[in-house]
């Protein structure tokens, strides 16, 4: 990956108010799993993935990056980015959290913008799918700068919306900074 260097990941430690973001550790998984928000558990099941297995993604794919958000040194969420299985320039971003995220919503929102900028550097496109009825999550990802497809996608008979962000600054054919000269 271009933007996230392993040395940067290993030393990453962002602090915003009473929240800290650092690389995920195995010991972070169980506290989040045991206190996971119902909407996140439901979303995992809608996708056909056990919530515990979903939290383990960043440990099972060597090209994936996982981060833990802590409040007062207690894990309250894990997020990450995983290269698409067939298109390695596309990153699939995810977040699973506990109910405690809502208690620190302002700091969490502010923190998430910084993390998004960091993750966007690594891929030409960052995307994923979100249940159509998760209005609060949809509002948040749009606030982060993601766009929504105009289509409804079905997976396991559930309705999802695709959200995406293109890294046009460096990787777009239409961007004059990166466009090849045509003769």
Q: Is the dihedral of CA 6, 168, 107, 30 positive or negative?
A: negative
In a domain, 32, yes or no: yes
Instruction: Output the pTM of the full model.
Output: 0.82
In a domain, 140, yes or no: no
Alpha helices in 144-177 (DSSP H): 168-171
- Widest CA span in the chain: 60
Q: CATH number for the domain including 68? A: 3.40.630.30
In a domain, 168, yes or no: no
In a domain, 31, yes or no: yes
Q: Which two tokens stand for residue 113?
A: 């913008």
In a domain, 12, yes or no: yes
pLDDT, one tens digit per residue, over 53-101 is 999 988 888 888 899 999 999 999 999 998 888 887 899 999 999 999 8
In a domain, 163, yes or no: no
Domain count, the chain: 1
Structural domain of 24:
6-127
In a domain, 10, yes or no: yes
In a domain, 60, yes or no: yes
pLDDT, one tens digit per residue, over 150-173 is 899 999 899 999 999 988 655 445
């Amino acid at each position: 990956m271009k933007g996230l260097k392993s040395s940067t990941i290993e030393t990453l430690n962002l602090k915003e108010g009473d929240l800290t973001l650092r690389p995920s550790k195995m010991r972070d998984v169980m506290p989040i799993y045991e206190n996971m928000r119902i909407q996140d558990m439901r979303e995992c099941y809608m996708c056909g993935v056990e919530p515990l297995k979903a939290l383990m993604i960043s440990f099972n794919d060597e090209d994936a990056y996982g981060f833990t958000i802590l409040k007062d040194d207690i894990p309250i969420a894990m997020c990450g980015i995983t290269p698409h299985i067939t298109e390695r320039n596309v990153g699939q971003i995810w977040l699973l959290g506990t109910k405690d995220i809502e208690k620190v919503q302002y700091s969490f929102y502010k923190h998430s913008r910084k993390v998004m900028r960091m993750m966007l550097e690594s891929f030409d496109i960052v995307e994923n799918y979100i249940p159509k009825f998760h209005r609060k999550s949809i509002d948040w990802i749009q606030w982060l700068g993601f766009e929504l497809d105009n289509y409804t996608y079905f997976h396991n008979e559930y309705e999802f919306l695709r959200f995406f962000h293109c890294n046009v600054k460096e990787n777009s054919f239409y961007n004059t900074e990166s466009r090849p000269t045509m003769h």
